[in-house]
Amino acid sequence: MSETRIVPPQPKAGSLSSENERVVASPANVSAVRRYLSERGNSAAADRWFHYLMLLCALSIFGIVALIATELVIGSELSWHRLGFHFFFSSYLDPYTSMRLFWDPVNEHFSALPFVYGTLVSSFLALLIAVPLAVGVAVFLTEMCPGALRAPLAFMTELLAAIPSIIYGLWAVFVLVPLLRDYVNPLLIRAFGWTGLFESDNPTGLGFVAAAVILAIMILPIISSLTREVMMAVPHSQREAVLALGATRWEMIRMGVLRNARIGIVGAIILGLGRALGETMAVTMVIGNTPEIHRSLLSNGASMAAVIANEYAEATTDLHRSALTEIGLALFVVTILVNALARLLVWAVTRGAPQRAH
């Protein structure tokens, strides 16, 4: 076929050297190339294997979820059989002191109630602190911030999200807790002591308030960056429409932006809640780790994640370990549900928005 291709097309610019002609006029290479390629086969088998391998990697994500679920269910079977649903509600009276007790591994009394209580109280308290601040930061960054400040501030909130839990915990133990104990808690007691929520019987400074404050600091970046994302997804025309009516900037934000983004913001808050429910190290270090239920938010408590971190490695009896695994299972189910709900809400808002990445 290619034997006849001898005439090279003349490039316009320069004349061809004799060396060039030699290269071009050697048809052996040309047919060699074509022969080589036609012998290569269609690689359909390799392509199919590659496809399956990548599919396997992707399916491993389902596999992981299934594996975690199975392991947790098998691991908590004993506790489920022995304690049933009462596990999450029961308590018993100590015959010697006649106090209400929940968790006594030595005598094999297990109730998850104080841990569920502690997790819920510290998480919701954290949301109470974090949500207004996070929305405030998001509003400031998207609508008010001078352009030069935006990038460094966004970077700082990103950094806040990258700090490991253990460092928050370390800081909380040595800086935040003394601060709360010496300055903030007395103020709370003086101002709100009458509600019974703040009582001064805890000299350590540990407890729900400390846990909630450090949790709030930790979940803030997640809530504020997602809020920012959904606020930026609100089309510009919505803002202009409200501004054109003579609204002030705040009215524009309230009516043009927040109203349109509210479902997404709720999603962001729920995602923050999901993170708070499962947060372990920082909470373990400051919540006090006492399996009791008190009305006062300044008293020591415990959380689901914290009790696992504290006792799992040292759990000696099967029932103890099984009970801890069941707490893990509960945490798993709850965080899966909370995260799924949050993702759906955030998707619902950002889906229609134009891609900003391009």
Partner 1 sequence: MVKQKTSAQTRIRAVTDHAVTGLAIAATVLVIAPLVAIFVYLILRGASSLNLDFFTKIPKPVGEKGGGMANAIVGSGILLAVASAIGVPIGIGGGIFLAEFGRGTRLANSIRFTADVLNGVPSIVMGVAAYALIVSPHISFLPMLGHFSALSGGVALGIMMIPTVCRTTEEMLLMVPHAIREAALGLGVPNWRSVLSITVKTASPGIITGCMLAFARVAGETAPLIFTALGNSFWSTSLNEPIAALPLQIYVYAISPYDEWHRLAWAGALVLIVLIVLAVSLVRYVTSRGVLKGAS
Partner 2 sequence: MGVGIEVTNLNAWYGSNHTLQDINLHIPANHATALIGPSGCGKSTFVRCLNRMHETNPIARVTGSVRIGDLDIYEDAKPVEIRRRVGMVFQRPNPFPTMSIYDNVASGLKLNGFRNRRVLDEIVEKSLKNSALWDEVKDDLKKKSGASLSGGQQQRLCIARALAVDPEVLLMDEPASALDPVSTSKIEDLIFQLKSQYTIVIVTHNMQQAARVAEKTGFFLNGRMVEFDSTHKIFTNPSDKRTEDYITGRFG
Binding site for partner 2 (CB under 8 A): 1-2, 4-5, 7-14, 16, 20, 23-24, 26, 29-30, 32-34, 36-38, 40, 42-44
Cβ distance 274 to 342 under 8 Å? Answer: yes
Q: Is 133 in the site for partner 1 (CB under 8 A)?
A: yes
Rounded to a whole number of angstroms, the minimum distance from the CB of residue 2 to partner 2 is: 6
Choose which of 105, 118, 207, 278 interacts with partner 1 (CB under 8 A): 278
Q: What gap in Å lies between CA 327 and CA 308, rounded to an integer? A: 8
Q: Is 348 in the site for partner 1 (CB under 8 A)?
A: no
Q: Is 74 in the site for partner 1 (CB under 8 A)?
A: yes
Q: Is 349 in the site for partner 1 (CB under 8 A)?
A: no
Choose which of 30, 90, 150, 171 interacts with partner 1 (CB under 8 A): 171
**Cα dihedral 118→124→128→132 (10° resolution):** 140
Contacts of 196 (CB under 8 A, 6+ apart): 295, 296
Q: Is 78 in the site for partner 1 (CB under 8 A)?
A: no
Rounded to a whole number of angstroms, the minimum distance from the CB of residue 50 to partner 2 is: 13
Q: Please, which residue, 20 or 317, has the CB nearer to partner 2?
A: 20
Report what 1 binds from partner 2, partner 1, none; CB cut-off 5-8 Å by kind: partner 2
Distances (CA, A) of 143 to 46, 58, 311: 52, 39, 47
Task: Tell me the sheet residues that pair with 346.
Answer: none
Q: Please, which residue, 29 or 248, has the CB nearer to partner 2?
A: 29
Rounded to a whole number of angstroms, the minimum distance from the CB of residue 100 to partner 1 is: 27
Rounded to a whole number of angstroms, the minimum distance from the CB of residue 40 to partner 1 is: 9
Choose which of 94, 104, 158, 240 interacts with partner 1 (CB under 8 A): 158
Return the ∠ at Cα 338 (arms to 337 and 339), rounded to 5°.
Answer: 95
Choose which of 8, 84, 164, 196 interacts with partner 1 (CB under 8 A): 164
Q: Which of 232, 180, 170, 229 is nearest to 207 (CA)?
A: 180
Task: Tell me the sheet residues that pair with 104.
Answer: 109
Q: Which of 145, 210, 214 is nearest to 182 (CA)?
A: 210
Q: Which two tokens stand for residue 328?
A: 């893990």
Q: What gap in Å lies between CA 81 and CA 307, rounded to an integer? A: 21
Residues from 279 through 318 that contact partner 1 (CB under 8 A) = 279-281, 285, 305, 308-309, 312-313
Query: Amino acid identity of 331?
Result: L
Report what 231 binds from partner 2, partner 1, none; CB cut-off 5-8 Å by kind: none
Report what 33 binds from partner 1, partner 2, none; CB cut-off 5-8 Å by kind: partner 2
Residue count of the chain: 358
Report what 168 binds from partner 2, partner 1, none; CB cut-off 5-8 Å by kind: partner 1
3-state helix, strand, coil in the chain (%, to 5): 75, 0, 25
Q: Please, which residue, 185 or 296, has the CB nearer to partner 1?
A: 185
Only one of the segments 8-16, 27-35, 166-174, 197-205 lies at the binding site for partner 1 (rule: CB under 8 A); that segment is 166-174
Report what 157 binds from partner 1, partner 2, none; CB cut-off 5-8 Å by kind: partner 1
Q: Please, which residue, 25 or 175, has the CB nearer to partner 2?
A: 25
Cβ distance 115 to 304 under 8 Å? Answer: yes
Q: Which of 251, 277, 271 is nearest to 334 (CA)?
A: 277
Residues from 192 through 221 that contact partner 1 (CB under 8 A) = 217, 220
Q: What gap in Å lies between CA 256 and CA 260, rounded to an integer? A: 7
Q: Is 34 in the site for partner 1 (CB under 8 A)?
A: no
Q: What gap in Å lies between CA 275 and CA 254, rounded to an integer? A: 27
Q: Which two tokens stand for residue 73?
A: 């269910």
Q: Is 36 in the site for partner 1 (CB under 8 A)?
A: no
Only one of the segments 26-34, 68-76, 204-212, 234-242 lies at the binding site for partner 1 (rule: CB under 8 A); that segment is 68-76
C-alpha radius of gyration, the chain, whole number: 31
Q: Is 148 in the site for partner 1 (CB under 8 A)?
A: no
